[in-house]
Chains A and B, each alone.
Chain A
Amino acid sequence: MQAFAELLDRLVLTPQRNAKIRLMADYFRTAPDPDRGYALAAIAGTLDIATVKPALLRQLMLERMDPILFQYSYDYVGDLAETISLVWETVEPDEAEVADLSLGAVIHRLQSAGRGDVRGLVRDLLDRLDGSARYAFLKLVTGSMRIGVSARLVKQALADMGGVDASEIETLWHGLEPPYLSLFSWLEGHSERPALSMPAVFHAVMLATPVADGDLTNLDPQDYAAEWKWDGIRVQLANLDGTRRLYSRSGDDISAAFPDILEAVDFEGIIDGELLVGGTARTNRATRTFSDLQQRLNRKTVTRKTIEDYPAFVRGYDLLFSREGDMRPLPFSERRAALSGLIEAASPTHFDLSPLVSFSSWKEIDQLRIAPPDPVIEGIMLKRWDSPYQSGRAKGPWFKWKREPYNIDAVLMYAQRGHGKRSSYYSDFTFGVWTEVDGKQVLVPVGKAYFGFTDAELEILDRFVRNNTVERFGPVRSVRATADHGFVLEIAFEGINRSTRHKSGVAMRFPRIARLRADKLPRDADRLETLMAMIPAGTVEEMDGDLSS
């Protein structure tokens, strides 16, 4: 536990990305199994243990301590887990035998404890652990580990440790479980690369970069396929070895809300597609809008009536696995051909194929983009015919070119109480996009929006703000916003200009919240460069002026 606790303490205070990676890689090299696997799970957010409520910790504390002295201490430190870790006065544990205080042993005790045992177990561990180990333990059991390390960073540390490419870790990741014994054994060269034992798991999706000025100039249209970008949510549908799952693009299992689709799957494999409601192209009925789709989202269960009123289907984009195996290394052209055959044979009301758009020049596709044939189209996707399916967002193989150019995905950063009838809600939202500062990916605020959402959406946002407040400054709250945790907002606006008054350097004209994107992770949000590229040419002089100031 001690080594893990020291690692956490260092990570929290270490700003540089590379230093964090080194700290983690060194820990993984030196810590034994299964401790390092549980540490990995704790950092990557995959650890599954029963959590303890702050109220219980407070009670345990006050069994031992004067409430006034505790209050003085808590007021000073400001964090409950840290306060308790510091003020806890140990007493000799009842049993004289030496307890195993390794991280693995502590996790094991927590996982096997019954509901009624938790209180005694937490008290006993608080007594036996010391200093920073007590802190790490409390952060674990309260589920409030916040160490500023993204899942991507920890995977990079694993890659460094084993001298492999991070994409290899990414590919394996969702098929592995804590304490990751097979992964470490492979990274240390003791065994073969772990086989994907459960292939019906989520595989990180391939993402496109937005088309910016000049991006296409030197590319040959012949090398690219074009297809419509549909306005639903991106999903991954898996049916392998009898396991069926529907995942959102961030990897959330949304199977329970779409029994109609899961029942209809009669092919084996994993496909990537758009989840939509309405009629498929194969039934000649119209695709319905995103607000109709919303009737089916964020549900734990769904009624027959809702399924009938809002029939869902998947519009196929890509094929990751077929009955024959992993399709991802094959070129898009081959995957697409295989997908086409597979969908042909599948239920016509639940599956169709995203049609290709033929074009011969960039100018032609640009015109099609601006006037698409269906209102549920939000733009064009361009995919290199020879591109393999790689998770993540590499620039080049796939582009997205939106119909409405002034539309971005941003991350909620701050919220402030509204006025008048909204004064009981957090209804003024500051949002940001990613940029790199000193080698680190950080969010920079780019605008504020007060409208665009429904009352029901306001309730969702307000609840998120209250449950994810990190800091308060007067009426303003800053909310949790890291690569893997936070709220993504789709922001529409009417124009954008360069600005010296804003830290980000850009100012949006009339931004509004177009949509809540609970299906996306903050890491998928747009980057400042994308906004910069939207600034119309002709403001160049002003830009030069800014740069020299």
Chain B
Amino acid sequence: MKADSLLYPTPKGLYCEKGGFYIDPVQPVERALITHGHADHARAGHQAVLATRQTLEIMAVRYGEAFCQTPQEAPLGKEMRIGDVTVHFHPAGHVLGSAQIAVEAEGMRIVVSGDYKRRRDPTCLSFEPVPCDVFITEATFGLPVFHHPDDAEEVGKLLTSLKQFPERAHLVGAYALGKAQRVIMLLREAGYDAPIFIHGALARLCDYYQREGIDLGPLEPATITGRDKSAFAGRVVIGPPSAFADKWARRFPEPMAVFASGWMLVRQRARQRGVELPMVISDHCDWAELTATIAELRPGEVWVTHGREEALVRWCELEGIAARPLHLVGYDDEGE
């Protein structure tokens, strides 16, 4: 069967008519398959949701137990029948619980990768390459400029700065799901064993990670009440990037603005946001990983979505791989 009759974009999201489901829909639908727990992929209010156990649990943590009417767990690697199609989930290496979704019918297999990355992440399973006819890839960092450096070196910059500026609180902006926990784990791996202070918005997700056996070490709430301001001097405080524009940030002693994001590679981006210490740590593929993944899978065709589609499509053309942009709306990875 033709690939674009198996899956095609609609205003609500990527739709599979034969199975009667949407993948990562941006509006409430009857049946949704969800790749991972980030807010732009996993929305509340669908009737039935099929996702990995961890993604379902993360959705419950974020939206409450009633985030949908019928949650259904998709065990990794297990083939499931929905209507006339078969689906199976495989790790995507993006955040805890994240999965690629393979959709198959009449000898045509499309893999929807969702967001993914290829490098090691101590907080989730690694990406598993799944051979396919059509590979739908993200392109958040789909420009040749993006070469994410080694994580350990980036965390090293933070550790150096803590020693160099021991009087300043180091406020690390990190996305609440995935990035924050990964930064904490990278700090622990680098031997940093002091308590790390976390913003209230991170507390429940960090607890969930701990329950899942990811040992984040000693965490304390970043509240001033009953504490001398100087308790934060030379310490790491992690919060969601949005908190940094707030009064919240100003309560700390001489705050140093640190931001953990792939965007921090481009100096102008860091400058615009007033970041003093950028840490280039991303949960997405960089250009080299995107192109290496496509080269490894050699799919018949590549569909490119959310991000900078045109550069990756151009690269595929130069490599003789059929490719086209898949214009999906509603995904925003600027907060990465």
Contacts and interface: CB of A to CB of B under 8 A. Distances in A.
A549 to B, nearest CB: 23
B276 A26 contact: no
B314 A68 contact: yes
A22 B165 contact: yes
Interface in B252-308: 265-268, 270-271, 275-278, 308
B222 interface: no
B235 to A, nearest CB: 17
A73 B145 contact: yes
Interface in B141-173: 143-147, 149, 157, 164-165
Given A19-B165, A86-B146, A10 B308 contact: no
A14 B274 CA distance: 9
B274 to A, nearest CB: 8
Contacts of B277: 10, 13
B165 A12 contact: no
Interface residues of B, number: 25
Contact of A86 (B145, B157, B276, B308): B145
B271 A77 contact: no
A76 B269 CA distance: 11
Nearest to B264: A13
Interface in B285-336: 308, 310-311, 314-315, 318
Contact of A131 (B149, B165, B278): B149
A23 interface: yes
A486 B89 CA distance: 60
Nearest to B146: A86
Given A72-B308, A82-B267, A66 B146 contact: no
Interface in A1-33: 6, 9-10, 12-15, 19, 22-23, 26
B164 A23 contact: yes
A82 B314 contact: no
A12 B271 contact: yes
A13 B275 contact: yes
What's the interface size class on A, roughly? 20 to 34
Contacts of A10: 276-277
B276 A73 contact: no
A78 B268 contact: yes
A419 to B, nearest CB: 33
A83 interface: yes
Interface in B194-217: none
A26 B149 CA distance: 24
A69 interface: yes
A87 B144 contact: yes
A251 B298 CA distance: 64
A22 B265 CA distance: 24
Given A72-B308, A86-B147, A77 B268 contact: yes
A13 B276 contact: yes
Nearest to A13: B276
Given A10-B277, A14-B276, A15-B276, A77 B266 contact: yes
Interface of A: 6, 9-10, 12-15, 19, 22-23, 26, 65-66, 68-70, 72-73, 76-79, 82-83, 86-87, 89, 131
25 contacts: A10-B277, A12-B271, A13-B275, A13-B276, A13-B278, A22-B164, A22-B165, A23-B164, A66-B315, A69-B311, A69-B315, A72-B144, A72-B314, A73-B143, A73-B145, A76-B145, A77-B145, A77-B266, A78-B268, A79-B268, A86-B144, A86-B145, A86-B265, A87-B145, A131-B147
Given A13-B276, A76-B308, A86-B147, 15 more contacts: A6-B157, A13-B278, A14-B276, A19-B165, A65-B144, A66-B314, A69-B144, A69-B315, A72-B144, A79-B268, A82-B267, A86-B145, A87-B144, A87-B145, A131-B149
